[in-house]
Amino acid sequence: MSKSPAKAPASFAHYRPETRLVHSGTLRSEFGETAEALYLTQGFVYATAEECEARFKGEDPGFIYSRFSNPTTAMFERRMIELEGAEACRSAATGMAAVTTAILAPLRAGDHVVAAKALFGSCRYVVEDLLPRYGIESTLIDGLDLDQWQKAVRPNTKSFFLESPTNPTLDVLDIPAIAEIAHAHGARLIVDNVFATPIWQSPLALGADVVVYSATKHIDGQGRCLGGVILSSEAFIAEHIHNFMRQTGPSISPFNAWVLLKGLETLAVRVRAQTETAGKVADFLAAHPKVSRLIYPGREDHPQAATVRKQMRAGSTLVGFEVKGGKAGAFRTLNGLRLARISNNLGDAKTLVTHPATTTHQRLSPEARAELGISEGFIRFSAGLEHPDDLIADLDAALAAA
Ligand SMILES: *Cc1c(COP(=O)(O)O)cnc(C)c1O
């Protein structure tokens, strides 16, 4: 074999997640660097024509071209594999590139997809608008109602798609039960696990077949770059994803993969601190007279608290709440905040607040929003790494003025 730097990394899969997040996948170069190297290269050179031929035949495991393989990207993917307990991973330029690839690549015209209608706006666009343009039918249902999953299945149903907790109303869908319905009909379940994070929920262990992430959110968690991840079995990636990504090129930049790889080192620490803060904020908001509704998966009054206990290790870094006074009340609250910033993003070290009705879910009709529980007064709160007492004081002042 050649002297390529593609030597397989040692496995850290038997260690606990915190340890895997720091060590898994590291490929050290001949210089023995401490931090993972950033291989900003488009391609690779070969010692001989024979080596080049072997690489293309797949007989030599080295790298060929950064559209589909790069040492920095490979380190990021290996770390994600060992974190998630998957067999294989491919990373993509954005979360949407990962979601679109995971949904579209295995399908052909005539196939059918069932999805929960409470989806991140762009995911809903892919299922509802994009797929039908290529002859792939889709049905959107209330994901909390197991009967609706069952009844939506057709002979040509190939995939189920859901996110849990949902964006932005933080419903928690029963992943094992939905996986069972999918498998009984020969379909696969794809889960967008962004809101739960790999720290609090492991969909593959719960019966899902494919997990997707927007790594833009908690995995970077510091507002720097976009990225996406698809995790599944070796067979699914080889059969459906590898060639699609290799030939169509929704690839991640090695630079972004390096940022995300370093983001993973602190993921567990950040998510734990942000979740603890979200819990304190939720308790404060639940008792506030200007708050008419509070949703937090870590509280006993969450509508699916039993499902949370069954499939999640803790609540969430996100809190949903409705202020009295509709859109005007929500806008006065947002405009009164000094620390928490108005944004459409989430999972950041900085606390971010979103008004879904006029931003992420603006595309939907008022009826569709009402159906999802996204009222005019609804606010999504993404807890950052600030001191929880400072955030609570910020909310207290904003609500007092609202
Ligand atoms: C942000 C997000 C996406 C899309 O990710 P990008 O990296 O912005 O493309 C998909 N699903 C969920 C649940 C998200 O929050």
DSSP per-residue string spanning 222-285: SS----EEEEE-HHHIIIIIHHHHHHH--PPPHHHHHHHHHHHHTHHHHHHHHHHHHHHHHHHH
Pocket test for ligand 1, best of 195, 214, 253, 259 (most atoms within 8 A of CB): 214
Reported as a pLDDT band with limits 50, 70 and 90, residue 242 is very high
Across 75-95, average pLDDT: 97
- Cα 309 to Cα 276: distance, rounded to the nearest angstrom: 16
> What residues pair up with 159 in beta bridges, in sequence order?
113, 188
Name the residue range of residue 368's domain. 267-401
Q: In this structure, what token pair is assigned to residue 331?
A: 């806008």
Q: In this structure, what token pair is assigned to residue 374?
A: 């996204």
pLDDT at 134: 97
pLDDT at 402: 87
**Mean of the per-residue pLDDT values of the chain:** 96
Domain containing 151 — which CATH number?
Answer: 3.40.640.10
Helix runs in 10-61, H state only? 17-23, 49-57
pLDDT tens digits, one per residue of 4-19: 444 567 889 899 999 9
For the beta carbon of residue 247, count every other beta carbon within 10 angstroms: 9
Instruction: Say if residues 131 and 137 touch (Cβ distance below 8 Å).
Output: yes
User: How far does CA 397 lie from the centroid of its chain?
Assistant: 32
pLDDT tens digits, one per residue of 144-157: 999 999 999 999 99
Q: Whole-model pTM?
A: 0.96
Across 135-163, average pLDDT: 98
Domain co-membership, 256 together with 275: no
> What residues pair up with 353 in beta bridges, in sequence order?
342, 381
Q: In this structure, what token pair is assigned to residue 290?
A: 């200007």
| Strand runs labelled E in 84-224 | 88-92, 112-116, 137-141, 157-163, 188-192, 210-214
- Give the number of the atom of ligand 1 that is nearest the alpha carbon of residue 215: 7
- Give the number of the atom of ligand 1 that is nearest the alpha carbon of residue 96: 9
DSSP state letter for 91: E
How many whole angstroms from 27 Cα to the centroid of ligand 1? 29
Domain co-membership, 255 together with 306: no
Domain co-membership, 307 together with 248: no
Domain containing 305 — which CATH number?
Answer: 3.90.1150.10
Number of domains the chain contains = 2
Reported as a pLDDT band with limits 50, 70 and 90, residue 1 is very low
pLDDT at 8: 65
pLDDT at 7: 59
Domain co-membership, 259 together with 273: no
- Ligand 1 pocket, residue 101 CB under 6 Å: no
Domain co-membership, 172 together with 221: yes
Domain co-membership, 199 together with 280: no
Is 24 part of a structural domain of the chain? Answer: no
Q: Indicate the residue among 226, 246, 264 that finishes a domain.
A: 264
Cα distances from 154 to residues 104, 109, 139, 177, in angstroms, run 18, 15, 10, 18
Domain co-membership, 243 together with 327: no
Q: Indicate the residue among 237, 264, 291 that finishes a domain.
A: 264
Q: Indicate the residue among 205, 229, 264 that finishes a domain.
A: 264
Q: In this structure, what token pair is assigned to residue 96?
A: 């949407």
Dihedral sign from CA coordinates of 277, 282, 285, 287: negative
For the beta carbon of residue 196, count every other beta carbon within 10 angstroms: 31
- Ligand 1 pocket, residue 229 CB under 6 Å: no
Region class of 200: left (phi > 0), else alpha (psi between -120 and 50), else beta = alpha
